[in-house]
Amino acid sequence: MKGFWNRTLLLSLAVCFGAHGTELQLVTGDDYAPLTGRALSGGGMLTAVVQAALDRSGTASSLAWQPWKRGYMMTLRGEYDATYPYIRAKQREQAFLYSAPLYVSEQHLFSRATDAVEVDELAGSSGRRLCLPLGWQLPVAVQSLVDQGVLVRHSPRGLNECALLLLLGRDDFFLADLQLGLHALQSTGAARSRFHVSGSVLSRQTMHLIVPRSRPDAAQLIESFDRGLQALRESGDYQRLIESFTSDEVSRRQLTTTAQ
């Protein structure tokens, strides 16, 4: 019986630590402002949320920055314990367990104030140029409009380029998460009044921390993280943390209704 309890204690300790024996090793990607970014305060809004949730659960952690695809694959192979932020996808769910939502991502349309585009106008927007970074996937309904030739997709390297091309009149609108889009508008240096953010939401998606299912303790890691995240929300610190990364009034109003 003594041997049984010793083995149980060792297993419990192993669950508290990461794959490398001392702390939970996290990885995320750069240039996803304001959600993640090396140069951002606290590593970005969702890095701050993840770290605060881990602190609440009493879990020590370290963070590495890798190109998105590389970090994802290294996590899948067990070289990192967890990665974030990722939306739900059927193929990904076969390989990873998901935490409770870190954040509710609301997709809006961003256009020029002088040529505002709303969600319910998309189907009648024949010939308009839609900007979406290379490698980003469109919602099914919007992709259908591109396939039909109603919209023309243009794919630069990043979202900041989309905002600049919008300002220059080379593209007509882009779609993005509210936070990402507002940050891209800010990157142009132009007055906020020169842009229009759609009043309605195109789609909503939740973002998560993910742990590979191949880990023997994957479920325990997720459970521990979720407890910390729930404690963060119940204390009110989650909302305060989110709001500390937002300055735009549109952003604040939306987050108040969706981050609960």
Residues 76-94: tens digit of each pLDDT: 999 999 999 999 999 999 9
Amino acid 3 reads G
Cβ atoms 189, 163 nearer than 8 A:
no
Read off the pLDDT band of 252 (50, 70, 90): very low
Cα angle, residue 254 at apex, residues 158 and 85 outer, rounded to 5°: 45
Read off the pLDDT band of 182 (50, 70, 90): very high
- Whether 184 and 197 map to the same domain: the answer is yes
- Whether 67 and 181 map to the same domain: the answer is no
- Whether 84 and 30 map to the same domain: the answer is yes
The pair of three-digit structure tokens given for residue 150, joined into one six-digit string: 């109603």
pLDDT: which is higher, 43 or 5: 43
The pair of three-digit structure tokens given for residue 165, joined into one six-digit string: 């091309």
- Whether 73 and 199 map to the same domain: the answer is no
- Whether 211 and 192 map to the same domain: the answer is no
Range of the domain at 245: 2-104+206-258
Compute the distance between CA of residue 183 and CA of residue 192 in angstroms, rounded to an integer: 11
Q: What pLDDT score was predicted for residue 125?
A: 87
- Whether 51 and 90 map to the same domain: the answer is yes
pLDDT: which is higher, 47 or 31: 47
Compute the distance between CA of residue 190 and CA of residue 40 in angstroms, rounded to an integer: 21
- Whether 6 and 46 map to the same domain: the answer is yes
Position 3 pLDDT exceeds 80? no
Q: Using one digit for the tens of pLDDT, what is the confidence trace for 106-116?
A: 999 999 999 99
Sign of CA dihedral 246, 247, 250, 256: positive
The CATH code of the domain that includes 112 is 3.40.190.10
Compute the distance between CA of residue 70 and CA of residue 219 in angstroms, rounded to an integer: 23
Q: What pLDDT score was predicted for residue 103?
A: 97
- Whether 95 and 169 map to the same domain: the answer is no
- Whether 37 and 20 map to the same domain: the answer is yes
Q: What pLDDT score was predicted for residue 254?
A: 47
Question: Of 179, 93, 87, 180, nearest to 133 (Cα)?
Answer: 180
- Whether 50 and 167 map to the same domain: the answer is no
pTM: predicted TM-score of the whole model, two decimal places: 0.83
Sign of CA dihedral 178, 179, 182, 187: negative
> Count of domains in the chain?
2
Position 167 pLDDT exceeds 70? yes
Q: What is the DSSP string of 149-200?
A: TSEEEE--SSHHHHHHHHHHTSSSEEEEEHHHHHHHHHHTT--GGGEEE-SS
Note the Cα 44 to chain centre separation in Å: 10
Please provide the size of the chain in residues. Answer: 260
Percent above pLDDT 90 for the chain: 83
- Whether 41 and 157 map to the same domain: the answer is no
pLDDT, the chain, mean: 89
Compute the distance between CA of residue 74 and CA of residue 69 in angstroms, rounded to an integer: 9
Position 130 pLDDT exceeds 60? yes
Cβ atoms 82, 165 nearer than 8 A:
no
Q: Which of 161, 188, 203 is the last residue of a domain?
A: 203
pLDDT: which is higher, 120 or 249: 120
Read off the pLDDT band of 62 (50, 70, 90): very high
φ, ψ for residue 60, nearest 5 deg: -75, 145
Position 227 pLDDT exceeds 50? yes
Amino acid 1 reads M
φ, ψ for residue 65, nearest 5 deg: -115, 130
